[in-house]
Structure 1
Amino acid sequence: MKMIKKLQSCLNRILRVICGCLLGFMAVLTCYQVFMRYVMKNPSTMSEDILSYSFVWLSLLAAALVFGERDHMNLTFFVNKLPGTANCVLQIFTELLNLFIAIIVFLFGGIKFMEVGALQVSPTLGITMNVIYSIMPISGILVAIYSVINIMELLTGWRLEDKA
């Protein structure tokens, strides 16, 4: 479990740094775009596309991080009403459902998206769209890893913040 705890902690730190850097980058790029549009009267279409793609990357990476920290929104009305074992079984079922969606939709669906994206080129950036779409399988793998860790935590009663 010690190795799993280190893996989760390391993934959390890496994702926090990446999300923070992406957010900072987007703030600077937005200021640049506003300056170019309203002061220089010469809007940059490239920065608009980069912002759009960065927002998608930030959203999916942050979603994976939230799954890892188990801070995502959930309705606990029924879960709180269940006794210990039933509560744990329901939480494990939820994690298995998350794992299924991460693998089927994000990983396999993302790979299919990348195959299609290899045939498309971004007109303003000049890169193939599979580079942009690669975030789908990446986030799917991250959510799957976190779901497995969460299931292990539920089965063993171990939590990262309890043992840190």
Structure 2
Amino acid sequence: MKRFKKTLDKVLSDVCVGLLAFMTLITIYQITMRYVFNSPSTISEDILSYSFVWVSLLGTALVFGQKDHMRLSFFSDKVKGRGQIALSIFSELLILTIAISVFLVGGKAVMGVGALQISPTLYISMDWIYIILPISGILILIYSLINIIQSIQEFNESGKGEWQ
């Protein structure tokens, strides 16, 4: 499980780094075209906007996977043992519920609408842009399940108690 998570982390972080490098190059191109050649590019503006959304959502999945998201530690610092593991699992189940309802179900609905739209500058169907919603939802779902399994394993390995 740890090896799979580590591989997923690596692939996802490499994709985010690649997207950020791509966005940097597109930004340099856009600035050069606008200020040096006095011929602004509308295509690069759309590519940057879509890339920003993609890198944000993929980065969100990565952050949830690494448990680096913002959280209030007020409750988790107060409970120990089984209460802490229960709170951790509850938190992951809440994230899982949001990922399913917003990213998967909502993303599928948005993709349905996007299939009827064409990007005015790129001339592609907008569902190719909106597909990142269910993709990031699936990634967050996978990470939440991994986090739940790892929390239970760490609790059992720490000798604090068994679930039996």
TM-score normalised by the shorter chain: which range applies?
A: over 0.9
- 1:149 partner amino acid: I
| 2-structure distance, mates of 1:142, 1:76 | 24
Aligned equivalent of 2:95, options 94, 98, 101 = 98
Distance 1:7 1:109 in 2: 27
1:151 alignment counterpart: 148
Please give the residue correspondences for 1:32-111 in structure 2 after superposition, counting only pairs within 5 Å. 32-111=29-108
List per-residue Cα deviations over 1:21-78 (Å, max 9, x = no partner): 0000001110110111111100000000000000000000000011111111111122
| Deviating 4+ runs (over 4 angstroms) | none
Give the structure 1 partner of residue 22 of structure 2: 25
Give 5+ residue unaligned stretches, structure 2: 156-164
Partner of 1:142: 139
Partner of residue 124 from structure 1, selected from 101, 105, 121: 121
In structure 2, what is the Cα distance between the partners aligned to 1:112 and 1:152?
A: 30
Cα displacement (A) at 1:97: 0.4
* Alpha-carbon shift at residue 12 of structure 1 (Å): 0.5
Distance 2:3 2:106 in 1: 30
Select between 103-112 and 131-140 the one with higher mean Cα deviation.
103-112
Structure 1 CA distance for aligned equivalents of residues 27 and 91 of structure 2: 38
Structure 1 position 96, deviation (Å): 0.1
- TM-score, normalised to structure 2's length? 0.92
Q: Which residue of 5, 20, 28 maps to 1:8? A: 5
- AA paired with 1:110? G
Q: Structure 1: any 5+ residue segments left out of the alignment?
A: 159-164
Cα RMSD after superposing both structures: 0.9
The alpha-carbon deviation at position 131 of structure 1 amounts to 0.2
Q: How many residues align?
A: 155
Distance in 1 separating the partners of 2:137 and 2:100: 6
State how far apart, in whole Å, the 2-side matches of 1:93 and 1:78 are.
Answer: 12
Partner Cα separation in structure 2 for residue 53 and residue 127 of structure 1: 12
**TM-score (normalizing by structure 1):** 0.92
